[in-house]
Every structure is written in C-alpha cells, then in structure tokens.
Chains A and B, each alone.
Chain A
C-alpha cells in the first residue's frame, strides 16, 4: 500500500500526487470516507483517478491509498439472484445495513462471508489438476450446479480436498505445486478489465431461442453471438431486453442496467422471482444476476459496470453454461467514457467521444462467444451479448451506433413510427439483419421443420413487396393495384399483425416456441397460397379477403403451447374455405 494526497477534484475525476509506484488501473481509496477509485492516467507523479462515488466534500490534501490491485470481482457461489452496483457492491445488503439511499464510502463484499454452502468434492486427493478442472460442486440454486474450478495459473497435485459445509473463505482443497501449497477456497477473484482465459474459441453453431417471433424466425441470434438494439426512447429496447432475459433458453442471465432507470431494475427484482422459467419450471431469478448502476448513480461505476457484468458471465461460461448477457444501455456506458475522457482533457473525437470508443466497444463484445473452456473436461460454454443503443434523437449515424454496428452480427433496428402505432416489438423488418441466419437455417431444418427456411423467405419477400406496393398506393391510390397485389397487402398485414406483433405483457403471447412460430407462419402462408390459387381459379377477391378463417388466424398467437394441435384444424379450414371459392361469374 502506498499513500498520496489529492491535489485536484473535478467531478468524478480526482488527481493525486505522491503515490509510490502507482500502476494503471490500480484500485485506490480516496479520502477519509475511503471512496473507491481506479487509476486511469499517469503523468509524472500525478495519477488521475476515476472515483466510483460522488466526490462532493473532497479537496486537496485528502489522503489517497493505493491497494496495488486492479479492480476485481469476487467469484463463487451466491452470485445468482444477487443485485450489484457497477463495482459489485451488493445493493440488497447495502440497503439492509445503510438504508434507502446509497451513502458514500460504503464497503460491502460481493459475496456473503457467513453463508455456508454444501460442497461436494468431485476430484480426489492425489489427482493431478490444472486450471479449469472441477474440484467439486455446490448446488447454488435449484437449477444451477456451481462448479468450483482450479483457478487460472495454478496446477499441481491435489494434496487434500473435503466435502462438507463451508463458507466461501474456508479452504476446501489444497494443491501442491512447485514452490509450495496453495489453499483453494470457493471465493476467487478476477480483474474485471481482463478477459478470462479459454482453451479455444468456437464459431457459433446454434440459435439462442428467445421466444420472440420476429427474432427467432427472421433475425436470429446465435448462442455466443452478439447483437445490438438501437432505437429512440420509448421504442421498446428495455422491454425487448427484458423479454430475452425472461424467455431465452440460456442457462444463466446477466442483466446489466447501465445508466438507465431505477424502476426498471425494481421491475426485474419483483417480477423474476414470480415468473417460471419455461425450460426448468423454476423461478427465473434462480438463474439471473443483476448489475444495477442506474442513471443517477456515479458515472465512473457505470463505466465499470459492463466489465463487472461480463466477467461474471465469463465465470459461468467457464463452468460450461450458456450465458446471455444484456447491457441496457451501452450508450450510457459510452457517455460515461466520454465524461471521464473530457475531464482528462483528452483530444475529443466525434461528438466528444474519445478516439478509443470503437476499440473499447470491440474489446467488450469480443468477450462474448462460444468456447471450449479450460479444464480436462473440455466443457463448452457461451456468452451471448445483446447491447441496447440509445442514439440521440434516434439518429443511427451517431458514433456509438456506428461503432457498434461495425462489431456486432445482428441488428434489430427499432423504430418510433412503429411504436407510435403500438406495433411491438417495434423492430423494423426492412432494415434489421442477422448474419447468423444461414447457419441457423440448418438448425431449423433439423430441429423444427425442413420447410421452415423456405417459408420464412417467402414471408419476408411478401413484407418487402408490401413496402413497394404501399408506395404506389400513396401516390395513386389503391385502385391502381391488381387483385393479386391487394392480396399481397392483405397477407403482409396479417404477417405484421398476427405474427410480427407480439405483446410482451400478454401471458400467452409473451413467449412462442419454435414449433409454434413455424405453425403460425404455416397458417398465414397456407392462407396466402390458397388465396392466390382461388384468385387464379377466378375466385372473387371479396370472398377471398373475407374468408372467415382470417379471424382464426388473427387469434393464433393466443393458442397455448400445449394446444398446438389446433393449428391442424385451422389449416384444414383454410384449405376448405378457399377451395370452394366460387368460380368466376
């Protein structure tokens, strides 16, 4: 530890002098309240520190102590179900001990020291172990088996290990290596700005099923993939992120509320324990971990929050889990970066963002991915990262959106026009894309139906055609269209209203399985094809457009997952009603 003194305070930035041998990104404690901060620039003996708490009341002469360690998170059982701030302080504990407001200088460890866990040894005394090998397990929640892994950098002979009830600080194993013995506890630490090591990276191979129709069918995200959701305020970024957190078939969800609303975190906290995970039948909270550094909390901690989040995600990936990480919103992270950069008086780039915005963003998303994890088991795990982007004025040409689009592989473009018409999710199907689509098609063919990709393409073609036809209608009126073209408009409308629109707040509509997505699309497209045929056979356009089965299709979304057989009847009815369309007269 070395001591220095504050010479300057400018908002979240404090400059100190006299620290001995300070290193970049070392964690320091500032002032009598011992506020946490991190060294982010060194010039001569002046160290610039971003402070994770409000600095009011600090001034020159206050002492600064360096811990000599980088900002790290605590890893071990007890993470799931927690809510942390951007530097992993447990907000529930803080409230219990310190009241409703986050006072400054509060120090609470990320993991509960008192709580005992039942540790079950898996490895045996005498085993040769290397980093990533599983020493034992703890049932962290009813759905997640926590694996205690040999920490990176440690290998040798397992000199001792015992099952039993331990708290996170008690040693459960001893590893003998050159230079002596190391005790292993269930508590490990990892610096947040450094990615955890994997054996090999793998290309994404299968989709993360989100239960959101427009995503899974048209713009899928792969497990281990990256996606962004840009959109103006009120267009539905947060609701979409929450929907993915609720319904995605990930085993672990890390949700980072980065510079957004406090109530949105409350919403998750109140709702997730009540919602049953469709895959495990257990409350969602048992697989969820929250980082909440809301907009009114200190900006420097907001900057750190996404790193804290992804480090925790990596830890569970290393156990072999598929993790979904959501950052809402990465723009607020970028703004924090900009604010600190401004205080450092760095040369500003576009719109005041620092020139390294793009590389920092890329480095963050690069920590997502699918991988073979360390350890003899060669477990596979993945992190799927989805970041919201909040472009000022909804203008996608701004720097954060542009930098993000250069990195991520999926773009779900939200549009306020759709939101105003209460078309949700307000993802514009004409501008969005997924670079995983080809790969995911194989999966859909094999796992859902051979026909699925073709059906999807046919549907998308109709939606695209609709946009062209609408342009014509706008210019010269509906009369200019042929009956076939009017039919396209009608089918497109059905695709929009009966398939793409999905109400996140309706119990039956919120989640749709792949099978049901396929059936819904089949129903709509069967009606379309039958209608085309009816017209060709000289059927009357009015009768075709007013086929009673259209009403059935409009309510398809409310068919329960256990009642999917109902689709057979609807499809049969469709064929029937349009087959008997009267001949031309």
Chain B
C-alpha cells in the first residue's frame, strides 16, 4: 500500500513541504496527484521528523495545498530495463513517448546507481576513430572516455556530435554497439535533428533516446542524464555492448540544479550554482568507463554551452575538472566558415597517450601531434604579432609559421560533415603540413620519423 497524504503545507517554486508524514525516506520517489487528477513525480530532498521536503519533476502550476495528494512509493527513482529499450524514445523520466508499447522490464534499476569501485575499473586504451582529424589526430577519443564538447550558442555542436555518433568505430573491429541519447532542455528542432540523423543512418535501431525539451518541466532534467546512464550501464555491462552516450545540453541540467538550490535557499557557490555542483556532475560523468573483465563499455560525450563563451564559467570549468579532456569549439573559426570549428589548442584528450601509438594507431602519432600542437601554438602567436606590428615585422621563420597556421586550419581542421577520414589520412595531412616549416624547427619528431613519413622531397632546409 502506498502511503498517501493531503498535507502539503508549502509550495515554493519546484519545492513542496509536506507535513505529518510517517516513514518517509531520503531520496524516495513520490507520486503527486494534482487537483485535476493528473499525475506527476517527485522525490524527497530532505526529511526531518514528520516534515518532508520534495522536489517536483512536474511543473507545480495548478497545484494547491488542499487537494493535491502525495503518495510515497517506498523506493527510489527507477528505470525498467530490457533489450527492448533499443530503438525506443522516452521522455526525461523514462516514460515512452514514441507511441510504442510499455517496456516489460527485465529488472528495475535505481537511476542513481552506486559508485564504481575504482579498483574495478580498467583503463581505457582502445582508440576510437571518429573520422574527424582535429579529434583523431590531436585529441583522440578512447573507448570508455568522457570527453565533452564545450560549445556556445549558435555553434554546430549538434552536427559534430551527430557526426561522431555516425562515424565512430574502433579500428579493425566489428562489435555490438549502441547509442544512448539524453536531451535536456534543448529545442524540438535540435532533438529532431539527432533523431532524423539516427533514422537516416539506421542507427535508430541501436539507439535509446531520453528527451526532455525546452518546454518540458525543467526539474525533470535532473533525472534525465541518470535515466540515460542507467540504460547505458544495462546495455554495456549486462548485454556487453559498447555504448556511446551523448548528453546535451548539460548547461540546462545545471540550471535546473541551481533552481532547486535557490528555492532551498542554500548558500550559493560561484554564480549562484550550488557548492556541490562538482560532486553532482561527477556522479554523472564518472559513470563512463570500462570495467575489468566486462566486454562492454560506456563512452560519454556530454555537450554543454558556455554562457558568454566563457570557459571559466562554473559549468564548463567544473566539467573540465571531471572529464578526461574537452573539445572546445571556437566562434572565430566558425565565423570564418571552418567546420568543424574545433579550437585544438585548449582542447585536450587526457587519454591520448594510452590510446595511440604502435599497435593502436601508428608509432609516430604522439610525436606528430605534439609537433603540430607546438607549431600551431607558435603560429597563432605569430599571427597576433602580425596583427599588431604588420607583416613586415615578421622574421622569415615567423612567416613560415604564419602560413603553416593558415594551411593547418584549412586542410587539417576543416573537413566535410560527411567526410570520414582514416587515421592514416589524418596523420598524412599532418606530415604534409610540417613540410612548410624548416627542418630545424621540428624538435618534437624524430629524425627517423621525418625520413619515413615526410620523405626527403619538399620543404625548406
């Protein structure tokens, strides 16, 4: 029997205070019945004696303190899982919205899960070829990694994420894989773009979608990424699939969290976000990874938009502190019509060293990428100097760096949205670009590598 109460004392924003409750548990799922008979869900944020503070996942519009019923379910928030999740679309709380039948669950899993024992983890080492040079060549994605895209309004993060989902694969292997897509607060158009793209590439059969749109209840978003990850964990560790999880847009998720925190009158951290934002985000991002002896894995690509294009804003900042690198998009490159506008210098893949090299990609990959990075960094400095002092102030060497930079952006970074470059192609372009620079400047690559991959022809001495 569910315990039911009609004793809501306060409704403040998304929060409800219920009194006279017996036996409520922290984190417990509640059902809220509105005066008009419609149903919503919520959960317990705090309980003291017989007073219970709830967050409502449904908008509190239309709720009152006299006729609204609250039922305590005695369990946490759960997702029913089975293989039939594949190919299905759900709302942000895991209810089907594709007109299909209800899922007959194999089991019901608590969406908060338990932390992975660090000792159970296996280190990610399998290079995933995304076919995008600025990722594969310089900031490679590795199976089991969490690698976010830091974007901003108006930048093509959705196209990039979709391109990765379309093209991603581990070299030389055919394995069962799936895509789990969690949308938080994005527009119908954006969500539709992904769905259509999945449909066109027949990826839809291997996908599970959880969709909370901009006009869906904001607080529901707090559950959405956890729904997605619970589904992903089931697919990865019980059905042995390699799962790619795309979560977009984490900024809206964080804003929902801030809304709750503000309604609770908690002491705010930076820019009004709660002090526990780091820990909260970690319980999402850390659910990526590989587990020893398990054949499945979870690779996460969270997408977030940086308010004001500001990387030091708490959302990208705390994300970067948790994830294993970041792919940062540049408005400047985008303005110049370069797709994908990936700002490679501040981008980073922390798992790069373990995922590339002999036997994985190619022996020269690491050295070449370091060389490209430092040459491009130097080139960007030269470009700045050029803006201030004019072309004439540049040394001959500076000029070479300047043209290297242009070519690098044009040939290495720029590519087609449907262009799927192999890692050999990517590295080949890299070596070709290095020919622009004097040999003596190539300090990060070995002589043997130069001889082998660049040949003797071309390039100033």
Question: Knowing A8-B47, A101-B117 touch, does A420 contact B377 (C-beta < 8 A)?
Answer: yes
Output the least CB separation between B206 and chain A (Å).
24
Interface contact B48-A262, CB-CB below 8 Å? no
Interface contact B47-A295, CB-CB below 8 Å? no
State whether the Cβ of B270 lies closer than 8 Å to any Cβ in chain A: yes
Shortest Cβ distance from B72 into A: residue: A59
How far apart are the CA atoms of A582 and B267 in the complex, in Å? Answer: 72
Partner of A263, one of B110, B124, B318: B124
| Contact mask for chain B residues 228-267; partner A; CB cutoff 8 A; 1 contact, 0 none | 0000000001000000000000000000000000000011
Partner of A551, one of B24, B326, B440: B440
| Contact mask for chain B residues 347-388; partner A; CB cutoff 8 A; 1 contact, 0 none | 010110110000000000010001001100110000001001
Interface contact A57-B27, CB-CB below 8 Å? yes
Q: Which residues 42-57 of A have a CB within 8 angstroms of B?
A: 54-57
Partner of A474, one of B28, B354, B370, B388: B388
Interface contact B312-A103, CB-CB below 8 Å? no
Question: Knowing A259-B279, A338-B275, A352-B269 touch, does A477 contact B393 (C-beta < 8 A)?
Answer: yes
How far apart are the CA atoms of A214 and B223 in the complex, in Å? Answer: 47
Which residues of chain B come closer than 8 Å to A505, judged between CB atoms?
Answer: 353, 366
Interface contact A59-B393, CB-CB below 8 Å? no
State whether the Cβ of A296 lies closer than 8 Å to any Cβ in chain B: yes
State whether the Cβ of B116 lies closer than 8 Å to any Cβ in chain A: yes
Which residues of chain B come closer than 8 Å to A335, judged between CB atoms?
Answer: 275-276, 278-279
State whether the Cβ of A422 lies closer than 8 Å to any Cβ in chain B: yes
How far apart are the CA atoms of A352 and B116 in the complex, in Å? Answer: 29
Q: Which residues 289-311 of B have a CB within 8 angstroms of A?
A: 289, 291-292, 294
State whether the Cβ of B325 lies closer than 8 Å to any Cβ in chain A: yes
How far apart are the CA atoms of A497 and B320 in the complex, in Å? Answer: 27
Which residues of chain B come closer than 8 Å to A233, judged between CB atoms?
Answer: 317, 320-321
How far apart are the CA atoms of A478 and B268 in the complex, in Å? Answer: 49
| Contact mask for chain B residues 391-430; partner A; CB cutoff 8 A; 1 contact, 0 none | 0010100000000000000000000000000000000000
How far apart are the CA atoms of A473 and B440 in the complex, in Å? Answer: 23
Interface contact A58-B348, CB-CB below 8 Å? no
State whether the Cβ of A182 lies closer than 8 Å to any Cβ in chain B: no
Output the least CB separation between A313 and chain B (Å).
20
Output the least CB separation between B281 and chain A (Å).
8
State whether the Cβ of A64 lies closer than 8 Å to any Cβ in chain B: no
State whether the Cβ of B115 lies closer than 8 Å to any Cβ in chain A: yes
Question: Knowing A91-B118, A100-B117, A261-B324 touch, does A9 contact B47 (C-beta < 8 A)?
Answer: yes
How far apart are the CA atoms of A212 and B88 in the complex, in Å? Answer: 53
| Contact mask for chain A residues 173-198; partner B; CB cutoff 8 A; 1 contact, 0 none | 00000000000000000000000000
How far apart are the CA atoms of A262 and B353 in the complex, in Å? Answer: 17
State whether the Cβ of A104 lies closer than 8 Å to any Cβ in chain B: yes
Question: Knowing A15-B48, A234-B320, A497-B443 touch, does A266 contact B118 (C-beta < 8 A)?
Answer: yes
Task: Describe B's contact surface by its main secondary structure.
Answer: mixed
Interface contact A422-B370, CB-CB below 8 Å? yes
Output the least CB separation between B40 and chain A (Å).
20
Interface contact B23-A101, CB-CB below 8 Å? no
Partner of A554, one of B26, B283, B317, B443: B443
Output the least CB separation between A189 and chain B (Å).
24
Question: Knowing A335-B279, A421-B377 touch, does A270 contact B123 (C-beta < 8 A)?
Answer: yes
Shortest Cβ distance from A55 into B: residue: B26
Which residues of chain A come closer than 8 Å to B289, judged between CB atoms?
Answer: 262-263
Interface contact B325-A234, CB-CB below 8 Å? yes
Interface contact A59-B25, CB-CB below 8 Å? yes
One of A221-229, A386-394, A571-579 contacting the partner: A386-394
Interface contact B370-A294, CB-CB below 8 Å? no
Interface size on A, residues (CB 8 A): 75
Shortest Cβ distance from B287 into A: residue: A296
Interface contact B325-A348, CB-CB below 8 Å? no
How far apart are the CA atoms of A496 and B354 in the complex, in Å? Answer: 26
How far apart are the CA atoms of A15 and B294 in the complex, in Å? Answer: 40
Which residues of chain A come closer than 8 Å to B268, judged between CB atoms?
Answer: 352
| Contact mask for chain B residues 31-66; partner A; CB cutoff 8 A; 1 contact, 0 none | 000000000000001111110000000000000000
Interface contact B23-A296, CB-CB below 8 Å? no
Output the least CB separation between B340 and chain A (Å).
19
Interface contact B27-A92, CB-CB below 8 Å? no
Output the least CB separation between B347 and chain A (Å).
9
Q: Which residues 244-274 of A have a CB within 8 angstroms of B?
A: 257, 259, 261-263, 265-267, 269-270
Interface contact B286-A103, CB-CB below 8 Å? no
Output the least CB separation between A30 and chain B (Å).
11
Output the least CB separation between B205 and chain A (Å).
28
State whether the Cβ of A61 lies closer than 8 Å to any Cβ in chain B: yes
Interface contact A95-B23, CB-CB below 8 Å? no
State whether the Cβ of B168 lies closer than 8 Å to any Cβ in chain A: no
Output the least CB separation between A262 and chain B (Å).
4
How far apart are the CA atoms of A259 and B378 in the complex, in Å? Answer: 35
Q: Which residues 487-513 of A have a CB within 8 angstroms of B?
A: 497, 505
Residues of B at under 8 Å CB distance from A?
23-28, 45-50, 76, 110, 112-124, 144, 237, 266-270, 275-276, 278-279, 282-283, 286-287, 289, 291-292, 294, 312-314, 317-318, 320-322, 324-326, 345-346, 348, 350-351, 353-354, 366, 370, 373-374, 377-378, 385, 388-389, 393, 395, 440, 443
Q: List 26 A-B contacts (CB under 8 A).
A: A55-B26, A56-B76, A56-B110, A60-B50, A92-B119, A95-B120, A101-B113, A101-B114, A101-B120, A102-B117, A262-B286, A263-B121, A263-B324, A265-B119, A266-B123, A295-B282, A296-B282, A297-B115, A339-B275, A390-B321, A392-B270, A395-B312, A420-B345, A422-B374, A474-B388, A551-B440
10 closest cross-chain pairs (CB), A and B: A393-B312, A56-B27, A295-B282, A296-B286, A477-B393, A421-B377, A8-B48, A101-B114, A9-B26, A100-B120
